[in-house]
A and B are shown apart, each in its own frame.
Chain A
Amino acid sequence: MSAVLEITEIRKSFSTGFIPRRKDILKGISLSVGEGEIYGYLGPNGAGKTTTIKCVLGLIFPNAGKIMLFGRDHLDRRAKENLGFLPENPYFYDYLTGREFLDFYGQLFSIPRSERAAATSRLLKLVDMDRAADLPLRKYSRGMLQRIGLAQALINSPALVILDEPLGGLDPLGRKEIRDLILRLRDEGKTVFLSSHILQDIEMICDRVAIIVSGRILSQGRLSDLVSETVLFTEITVSGVAESDLAALGESLSTQAGRTLLKVCDEPNIEAVLALVRAQNGKVHSLIPRTRTLEDIFVDMVKPQ
């Protein structure tokens, strides 16, 4: 798998204020995104996610480090030919209609007029915005801007799509649609790099993730490696069993309407509980093994900072 985006040790600091004070935003970020994967860039607000993305796009210049896109320098015009980008809280030319807007960006890629019209219509349909195609963007809601923004990111059918908080500001239905769309992009062979501070977004669709906290990458790798498969404990809900018999086997978390929720840590105890239920003619309502979630990892990592 060749690297589509390769970031090596980039650093960036800003000087702000009347008496300038140096503030380090990125403290040596390195990551590599392979072809055809969905790469999640996860971190709390202010961790440096957007700053990293802006460095990749050439909107800001890192103080040190190297960024390669498709094996070329990231500022190379040819590298950008294959790039799509959706910013956080997108805002576009409000005097253009949705169709004009997409057409304008298509022109920047020197796409011929006839192809442009076809691509514009196809994308408008893809993001479900064809009904608002001839409305000026100033009349668009936030969710609509997000959709048209995604459409402009795809106008050149890029090999790499960079999405900054793509699910922000969307309702649950919209989030699902955009998620499905991102998965579809991967199925088409595109690489997707997306940032988010919402774990569920990443957990559901990303192949690999990097976790960034205060300008440093704390962990990166396959989601399955980060989220360990080992079972931490098992939750069993039973009824029709004497509670005093269960106490020895696990911790009783709650009892409601005759049902007992039991937290069982040792694996042999699970069998013992089941045997007990059978012996007393009780009933098992549920049995859920709990593994470590990305959220657990995330909370563990952010805490010491």
Chain B
Amino acid sequence: MTVTVIARNTFKEAVRDRVLYLLLFFAAVSILFARVLALLTVGDRVKIIEDVGLASISFFGALMAILIGTGLVYKEIEKRTIYTLLAKPIRRHEFLLGKFLGLVLTLAVLLAAMSLIFLGLVLAHTGRIEWGLLVAVVMIFFELILITAVAILFSSFSTPILSSLFALAFYLIGHFSWSLETLLKKIPAGATRTILRFLYTLLPDLENFNLKAEVVHHLPIAGAQLLYSAAYGLVYAAFILGLAIVIFRRRDFI
């Protein structure tokens, strides 16, 4: 199938890119740095290691999704490789979906690599493998799927630098939009509140995917919540990808 062929090639492209290994190196350094932080902490050192480790995985995962994702489509256009590709029996949405799936596959492998380092570090400290932590990693994966879609959306019509900034803004907004909810509870009903409610509905809420506190402190997690968050990520990503396809479908490659 065309989509899988392009996805496989995209994976190959990402894996042969040196930037990826640089990011992976820094991610590893960041995860291991948690060990140093733990030394400086009074109290439960393991919790610090787990918390900082998961935060590193989330941050570097997002960075990889943005930096690779924003370049993927743009590079094809800029270097004109897309000319020969689209001259083959490929529909444009298949191209975009292939790129998307290829990057999602790459991110899955990277997350697995980072998790291995992370679980290894925790193992060294506690003497056991904390499988529960992986629940948080899986949720990070859903967040990365959404960020990848956003990166591809921007890169289908903008330059990598701008796209990276847009996608980074999306990431930051997504992680702080919950404060709007807090604000909503505090202001009286009226026009302002309606506007805020509208904004809050529209803006992404990436804190849905943040289960760090729960897994680190062994708090109970409702299965329904996991399901809801996963569905939220997938539906949002599908919407963003649809938007990218609409933009990409009628574009002239001059």
Contacts and interface: CB of A to CB of B under 8 A. Distances in A.
Interface in B68-115: 79-91
Interface string A124-156: 000000000000000000000000010011001
Nearest to A89: B80
Interface in A219-273: none
Contacts of A44: none
Contact of B89 (A92, A93, A95, A108): A108
Contacts of A90: 80, 84
Nearest to A80: B89
Contact of A108 (B5, B13, B79): B5
**Residue among A59, A77, A92 having the largest count of chain B Cβ atoms under 10 Å:** A59
Interface of A: 14, 54, 57-61, 77-78, 80-81, 83-87, 89-93, 95-96, 100, 104-105, 107-109, 149, 152-153, 156, 162
Nearest to B82: A59
A96 B216 CA distance: 43
B83 A58 contact: no
12 contacts: A59-B82, A59-B87, A59-B253, A60-B253, A77-B91, A85-B87, A91-B81, A95-B16, A108-B90, A149-B84, A152-B84, A162-B87
Interface in B134-173: none
Contact of B88 (A86, A92, A105, A162): A105
Nearest to A51: B254
Contacts of A92: 81, 84
B250 to A, nearest CB: 7
A54 B251 CA distance: 12
A61 B86 contact: no
Interface of B: 2, 5-6, 9, 12-13, 16-17, 79-91, 250, 252-254
Given A54-B253, A61-B252, A85 B83 contact: yes
B11 to A, nearest CB: 11
B81 A57 contact: no
Contacts, number: 74
A95 B71 CA distance: 15
A80 B82 CA distance: 15
Nearest to B9: A104
A80 B88 contact: yes
A61 B84 CA distance: 16
Contacts of B89: 77-78, 80-81, 108-109
Contacts of A60: 252-254
**Residue among A78, A87, A108, A149 having the largest count of chain B Cβ atoms under 10 Å:** A108
Contacts of B2: 108
Given A77-B91, A93-B9, A95-B17, A58 B86 contact: yes
Contact of B5 (A57, A85, A104): A104
Given A80-B88, A108-B89, A91 B13 contact: no
Nearest to B17: A95
B5 A80 contact: no
A57 B81 CA distance: 14
Contacts of A96: 9, 12
A89 B79 CA distance: 10
B7 to A, nearest CB: 11
B88 A87 contact: no
B251 to A, nearest CB: 9
Contacts of B253: 54, 59-60
B84 A109 contact: no
Contacts of A149: 84
B12 A95 contact: yes
Nearest to B6: A108
A92 B82 CA distance: 9
A60 B253 CA distance: 6
Contacts of B79: 91
Give the 3 A-B residue pairs with the shortest CB-CB distance, closest first.
A85-B87, A60-B252, A95-B16
Given A59-B252, A108-B88, A87 B16 contact: no
Nearest to A81: B89
Contacts of A105: 84, 88
Contacts of A54: 83, 253
A156 B90 CA distance: 14
Contacts of B85: 108
Contacts of A57: 83, 86-87
Contacts of A81: 89
Nearest to B83: A87
Given A14-B254, A108-B5, A59 B86 contact: yes
Given A107-B5, A108-B5, A95 B13 contact: yes
A57 B89 CA distance: 10
Contacts of B6: 108
Nearest to B76: A93
B79 to A, nearest CB: 5
Contacts of A86: 84
Contact of A93 (B5, B81, B254): B81
